[in-house]
Amino acid sequence: MKKSFPLSKVYGLLETGPVALITTSRKGRPDVMTQSWHTMMEFEPPLVGCVIAAPSLSFDNLKATKECVINVPTRELAAKVVKCGSTSGRKVDKFQAFGLTAVPASRVAAPLIAECYASLECKLVDARMAGKYNFFVLEVIAAWVDSSRKDPRTLHHRGFGRFMVAGPSIKLPSKMK
Amino acid sequence: MKKSFPLSKVYGLLETGPVALITTSRKGRPDVMTQSWHTMMEFEPPLVGCVIAAPSLSFDNLKATKECVINVPTRELAAKVVKCGSTSGRKVDKFQAFGLTAVPASRVAAPLIAECYASLECKLVDARMAGKYNFFVLEVIAAWVDSSRKDPRTLHHRGFGRFMVAGPSIKLPSKMK
């Protein structure tokens, strides 16, 4: 079960580079895309930069609604992650086709994905680089995490359906935030 | 041993989100910083967006020289990664202090780190978002990888010295690049 998660800790979820399922919603119709090109840009409020390719429905939805949710799936969702990355929301209702459960978010119209380990509600704050690079700056305004999972087996894309699965954690004495 | 690596495959190295050691060099003096906030932005030529904080020597060096190298360390370098992330190059020669070997690059003045699994020579192509977000767009112009390591145990920062270590790879049928 996902619970509310402090915004100040969100960076620790994304800086490991997990593949994401990004949801948008427009005119009551939700969509989801698979995405690996994102980076933290600020700790708090958490800013996330991400590339969403221009011909996609997600690009159009994000530009129009200025909202999305970054969902973080784990190992058992790998086949659905690939399916969401290989089809267009213009042709398929991916939630229905691939058995993903859309749950209402608290502050945006785009849905959380129930099956995902973490879900980050975002609003678009800077689209200056959308034209040249398809690059958007998002602010995370609400976060939901299943904190009972200490070492979530997130997926990390290496290209052409090959993924590294998150291994164990190590802890070193560090002054780094 | 690292060998020349095709630029078209570089994205597969970075989209998993490994912690990076970014080197710069100015007036013959190399520096290195630890960095996790980066994302691919284009396949080919490979573009990488990354955040390099403003008060750092690396920020000054990158702005001045418009060059750097993104090096990807693995598990055995974890202690050095933390040390490089906890000190300033203004006070310490980190190569000497932490036992890292600077090797000349082919196309930039910043050095490759011999101990790292991969090294990507980069030139700065867009600093438009450096003022507001410390965000730089880099083009990878030469890449060196130890391709004998099939499942490199890269490090993925979770905050405060905690790292996820890359686990095994899985492969699914996929139309995704």
Burial of A53 (0-12, 13-18, 19+ CB in 10 A): exposed
Read off the CATH number of the domain in which B33 is found: 2.30.110.10
Instruction: State the residue for tokens 């005119």.
Output: A27
Which of A38, A117, A93, A123 has the alpha carbon at shortest distance from B51? A38
The DSSP call for residue B74 is B
Separation in Å, CA of B31 to nearest CA in chain A: 18
Contact by Cβ (8 Å): B125, B137: yes
Tens-place pLDDT, residues B122-154: 999 999 999 999 999 999 999 999 989 888 999
Query: Taking phi first (over 0 means left), then psi (-120 to 50 degrees means alpha), and beta for anything else, what does residue B27 get?
Result: left
Separation in Å, CA of A132 to nearest CA in chain B: 10
In this structure, is residue B39 part of a structural domain?
A: yes
Contact by Cβ (8 Å): B117, B73: yes
The DSSP call for residue A7 is G
In this structure, is residue A83 part of a structural domain?
A: yes
Tens-place pLDDT, residues A110-168: 999 999 999 999 999 999 999 999 999 999 999 999 989 888 999 999 998 999 999 99
Structural domain containing residue A104: 19-165
Residues of A in contact with B33 (CB under 8 A): none
**Mean pLDDT computed over every residue of chain B:** 96
Q: Is A131 helix (H, G, I), strand (E, B) or coil?
A: helix
In this structure, is residue A175 part of a structural domain?
A: no
Q: Report the residue of chain A nearest B40, measured CA to CA.
A: A37
Pairwise CA distance, residues B68 & A15, whole Å: 21
CA separation, residue B138 to residues A67, A115, B57, B68, B109 (Å): 27, 35, 18, 9, 15
In this structure, is residue A14 part of a structural domain?
A: no
Residues of A in contact with B50 (CB under 8 A): 39
Of A78, A169, A177, the CB nearest to B170: A78
In this structure, is residue B175 part of a structural domain?
A: no
pTM of the shown model: 0.96
Does the beta-carbon distance from A39 to B34 stay under 8 Å?
no
Instruction: Tell me: ipTM over 0.90.
Output: yes
In this structure, is residue A99 part of a structural domain?
A: yes
In this structure, is residue B14 part of a structural domain?
A: no
> What local confidence, expressed as pLDDT, does residue B176 receive?
79
In this structure, is residue B172 part of a structural domain?
A: no
Q: How many separate domains does chain A show?
A: 1
Q: Where are the alpha helices (DSSP H) in A35-125?
A: 57-65, 78-85, 94-98
Tens-place pLDDT, residues B53-76: 998 999 999 999 999 999 999 999
